[in-house]
């Protein structure tokens, strides 16, 4: 995946909190609210095997562009040429592209900021650690990402990697933002299982990621998506399937505890969005064939 060298990046859509610390007191917590992370199942496994205590009391606070270590996205990430050279600038460019698409597709779309952090962070949904994976918080309408997750995706979960794997993850989380704006989150309870509302919500976000992918080159930021990019996205989708994560963590698969969908389902719905380019084909809540 390449970015248009002359594209002007909108760094205000991304806040860099790396190196700032989260200001959390006591034991670190994890975010468990609606919208969820792309590998939210990890949270449940951490609770079972790692003994981390949830702490939903934290607040989101205000976010600036500069971290304590001197990083300044506004100075370093100005054009698509920068995005072709730096990972954090690449995140900015993908966020810009995804939001440009949804602003044209969803009436009344409100931009959502992405927050880069390290280790732990305070959010409108509570305190979170990197263990939760990338996630969207509907309370403050922000996406949270520890960039170290992308190494985990490749090394720990067996994804093929590549720049588009990162783009898939970001587009999935912005799919949750679209769901929040449309009120889809209200249709989901706390149940789990292969046909649960939680699984349907996550598969729809995968489908929305595919819909954006189909139009990514029509935005002002991306100029070249290859077949290898799509394969990398599919590999990432499979790597965070409930069955793959459960098998890696416990050596067995419990379908009744699914919250995000199997590897096959996640690939299927991403492919549906990419093949059709039509968000109306992403109604997982009406589908009998997940």
- Supply the pLDDT for residue 17: 93
pLDDT single digits (tens) 170-180: 999 999 999 99
> Is the separation of the CB atoms in 109 and 36 below 8 Å?
no
Look up the pTM and report it.
0.86
As given in the structure block, the two tokens for residue 162 are: 């590549």
Phi, psi torsion values for 23, nearest 5 degrees = 65, 35
Q: What is the CA radius of gyration of the chain?
A: 18
Q: What is the pLDDT of residue 267?
A: 98
Is the separation of the CB atoms in 58 and 29 below 8 Å? Answer: yes
Domain encompassing residue 71: 2-286
- Residue 58: CA atoms inside 13 Å, Cβ hemisphere, count? 27
- Given a contact cutoff of 8 angstroms between Cβ atoms, the answer to whether 204 and 179 are in contact is yes
Judged against a pLDDT cut of 70, whether residue 112 lies above it is answered with yes
What pLDDT score does 186 carry? Answer: 87
In this predicted model, what pLDDT tens digit does every residue of 229-284 receive, in sequence order? Answer: 999 999 999 999 999 999 988 999 999 999 999 999 999 999 999 999 999 999 99
Helix residue ranges per DSSP H, 56-162: 73-76, 80-83, 87-105, 148-155
Model confidence at 20, in pLDDT bands (50, 70, 90)?
Answer: confident
pLDDT of residue 154: 84
Which is more confident, 35 or 158?
Answer: 158
What is the number of structural domains in the chain? 1
pLDDT at 38: 65
Q: So what's the pLDDT on residue 241?
A: 95
Coil, strand or helix: which one is 45? helix
Position 162 scores a pLDDT of: 87
Give me the residues paired with residue 116 across strands: 16, 145
Share of residues in the chain with pLDDT > 70 (%): 82
- Is pLDDT above 80 for 46? no
> What DSSP assignment string belongs to 106-126?
STT----EEEE-SSEEEETTE
End-to-end CA distance of the chain: 29
């Amino acid at each position: 995946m390449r970015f248009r060298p002359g594209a002007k990046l909108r760094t205000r859509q991304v806040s860099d909190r790396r190196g700032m610390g989260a200001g959390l007191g006591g034991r670190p917590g994890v975010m468990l609210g609606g919208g969820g992370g792309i590998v939210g199942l990890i949270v449940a496994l951490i609770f079972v095997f790692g003994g981390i205590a949830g702490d939903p009391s934290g607040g989101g606070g205000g976010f600036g562009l500069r971290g304590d270590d001197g990083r300044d996205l506004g100075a370093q990430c100005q054009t698509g040429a920068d995005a072709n050279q730096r990972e954090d600038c690449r995140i900015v460019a993908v966020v810009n592209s995804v939001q440009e698409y949804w602003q044209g597709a969803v009436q009344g779309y409100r931009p959502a900021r992405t927050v880069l952090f390290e280790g732990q962070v305070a959010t409108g949904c509570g305190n979170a650690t990197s263990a939760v994976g990338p996630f969207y918080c509907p309370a403050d309408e922000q996406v949270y990402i520890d960039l170290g997750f992308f190494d985990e995706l490749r090394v720990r979960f067996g994804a093929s990697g590549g720049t588009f794997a990162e783009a898939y993850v970001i587009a999935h989380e912005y799919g949750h933002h679209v769901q929040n704006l449309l009120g889809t989150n209200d249709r989901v309870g706390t149940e789990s299982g292969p046909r649960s509302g939680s699984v349907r919500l996550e598969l729809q976000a995968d489908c929305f990621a595919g819909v954006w992918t189909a139009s990514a080159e029509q935005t002002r930021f991306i100029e070249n998506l290859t077949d290898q990019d799509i394969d990398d996205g599919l590999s990432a989708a499979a790597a965070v399937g409930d069955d793959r994560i459960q098998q890696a963590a416990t050596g067995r698969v419990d379908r009744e505890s699914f919250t995000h969908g199997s590897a096959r389902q996640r690939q299927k719905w991403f492919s549906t969005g990419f093949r059709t380019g039509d968000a109306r084909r992403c109604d997982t809540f009406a589908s009998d064939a997940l």
